[in-house]
Amino acid sequence: MKEIILKYVLQSSLLNSGKVNPKGVMGRIMADNPHLRGKAKEVYNLVLEISKEVESIPLEEQKKKLEEIAPDMVVEEGKEKKRELILKNVKDSVVMRFAPNPSGPLHLGHSRAAVLNDYFVKKYGGKFILRLEDTDPKRVLPEAYEMIEEDLEWLNIKVDEKIIQSERMEIYYEHCERLIEMGHAYVCRCDPEEFRNLKNQGIPCRCRNRSVEENLELWERMLDNSLEGAVVRLKTDIQHKNPSVRDFPIFRMEDTLHPRTGDKYVVYPLMNFSVPVDDHLLGITHVLRGKDHIINTEKQRYIFEYFKWEIPEYIHYGILKIEGTVLSTSKMYEGIIKREYSGWDDPRLGTLRALRRRGIKPEAIYRSMLEIGIKPADVKYSWENLYAINREIIDKDAKRFFFVENPKRLKVLGAEPKTLYLRMHPDRDLGTRELPFEGEVYISDDLEINGMYRLMELYNIIVEKIEGDVVYARYHSEDFKILRKKKGKVIHWVPVKDVVNTVVIDTEGREHHGFAEKDFRNVNVGDIVQFERYGFVRVDNKIRDGELKVICYFAHK
């Protein structure tokens, strides 16, 4: 166990110029080693002990030691973990693209491709192209173009060039015409059902053998909108082992108005046409995509071959399963329209803006996606790991406060009034806070009659009676050992005077009402704080409608 802890401590020290962040280390250990979760206390004591040892040796030696026991955890300059993220066949530099549909803002699933493309462009030098794939007018949300750019900026991803496919229609038309002229594509007017039946038996439809001239004429009529329900098909192999590859469609007619181009176009390319054409014209060297696209890659190869273009390097990574949030853009949109969700940043959604609102830092998302990398094996996304990384980032600036949810009154008899001055942060100088104890406090816990408890940072008390929502207790003693002997519990509290009305909205969108201690009123919107024994929250709003009310979003424990 010491060995495991040592590598995390060393890494933390190297990341923070010689100062270990014990809580961050704990988070990482628990996320990566679930079997240690039952021994949290023991582990934490070891972390503290080992941290002291590590901090006493020079950084150079720390690095050597880490290289020895866990070379994959050695940190390079710029805080990037060294890992085996390598692209094959890189010449001088790379040109890569991130190609979302502008149907909504980016969500966690998108961030993988965005981050990895950005990472490789930064690693090898080259160009990051944002390509907005908006050739399905039904799946375009006008606001999304801008939201996607904002989201990338938030992730600290620099876009070198932006391409909008709906502005490139003439280019696609021209390439389609060339394919028809070469005899590699044809206009098909068959009923879709009928075509499918033939295709599944490996039989060509009657359109396949039409002359180039006839096809060009029909193509013109498609563009003029005087031919209903026609598609252009690519001639592949009508007996290909995968029926979906057999003469797949590359253009279709669509009369839905396009939010950007209106009714200017009625013939739209399908992605297995526009993607390879653009990948070629933009000089894309490496394409990162999920394994679920392998069949699309196979289809797109036909286009490259017919035009005699050089095929980019394709990397198909495993599927990333993200559970516990909503990622379907259409479901999100529907929910927003029906007012089930408050907006694209509703905490139940997996959008980047929802995560941002909860206090998840872009660096945490970036790092979690780099850790997933481009392995071909499917992976389940670990929220715990994201939270552990985020905790490491936010902990050092998060002020501590007491917060009691569903508050009950507790009256303590026989206790001397006392004012506590507590640090805003256990190991950094972020100021102090004042908690005046005058015998009456709010608590959240359910107490038992005759039970012994300790008001955090104060004294031990014995509960005498409970009347409705009010608990009466008597001062018992100062010594913590007495409490421990009686197996009593430490409870946190806030003085009844000057409490701050606080609402915490959790990841399910539920509201938790309670009181925070008085100094909490000085936080700013956007601050991330830790409610002790409760978790990290981001201050989202301060409403001053008579009495102050602070709205927070829950980040994680």
Nearer to Zn ion, 180 or 207 (CB): 207
Minimum distance from residue 199 beta carbon to Zn ion (Å): 9
Q: How many residues form the binding site for Zn ion (CB under 5 A)?
A: 4
Nearer to Zn ion, 235 or 542 (CB): 235
Residues 145-184, one symbol each (x = binds Zn ion by CB under 5 A, - = not), give ----------------------------------------
Minimum distance from residue 193 beta carbon to Zn ion (Å): 12
What is the Cα–Cα distance from 276 to 287, expressed in whole angstroms?
Answer: 10
Minimum distance from residue 201 beta carbon to Zn ion (Å): 14
What is the Cα–Cα distance from 233 to 246, expressed in whole angstroms?
Answer: 9
Nearer to Zn ion, 222 or 435 (CB): 222
**Interacting residues with Zn ion between 200 and 259 (CB under 5 A):** 205, 207
**Vertex 415, ends 514 and 477: CA angle to 5°?**
100
Nearer to Zn ion, 229 or 414 (CB): 229
Among the listed residues 280, 343, 286, the one whose alpha carbon sits nearest the alpha carbon of residue 309: 280
Q: Write the burial class of residue 413 (CB in 10 Å: 0-12 exposed, 13-18 middle, 19+ buried).
A: exposed
**Interacting residues with Zn ion between 191 and 210 (CB under 5 A):** 205, 207
Minimum distance from residue 224 beta carbon to Zn ion (Å): 20
In the list 96, 144, 188, 275, the residue contacting Zn ion (rule: CB under 5 A) is 188
Nearer to Zn ion, 249 or 495 (CB): 249
CA 503 to chain centre: 24
Minimum distance from residue 195 beta carbon to Zn ion (Å): 5
Among the listed residues 438, 429, 549, 553, the one whose alpha carbon sits nearest the alpha carbon of residue 493: 438
H or E segment at 175?
helix 169-181
Give backbone dihedrals phi and psi of 38, rounded to 5 degrees, phi first. -70, -15
Residues 100-139, one symbol each (x = binds Zn ion by CB under 5 A, - = not), give ----------------------------------------
Number of CB atoms found within 10 A of residue 126's CB: 20
The token pair that represents 362 in the structure block: 């872009």
Number of CB atoms found within 10 A of residue 99's CB: 21
Nearer to Zn ion, 42 or 228 (CB): 228
Nearer to Zn ion, 45 or 197 (CB): 197
H or E segment at 502?
strand 500-505
Minimum distance from residue 273 beta carbon to Zn ion (Å): 17
Nearer to Zn ion, 194 or 448 (CB): 194
Minimum distance from residue 190 beta carbon to Zn ion (Å): 3
Buried b (16+ CB within 10 A) or exposed e, 25-46: bbbbbbbeeeebeeeeeebbeb
CA 136 to chain centre: 26
Span of 7-15, 126-134, 187-195, 240-248 interacting with Zn ion by CB under 5 A: 187-195
Rule CB under 5 A: is residue 185 a binding residue for Zn ion?
no
In the list 46, 113, 140, 190, the residue contacting Zn ion (rule: CB under 5 A) is 190
Dihedral (C-alpha) 476, 481, 482, 484: value to the nearest 10 degrees?
Answer: 110
Contact residues for 42 (Cβ-Cβ < 8 A; gap 6+)? none
Give contact residues for Zn ion (rule: CB under 5 A).
188, 190, 205, 207
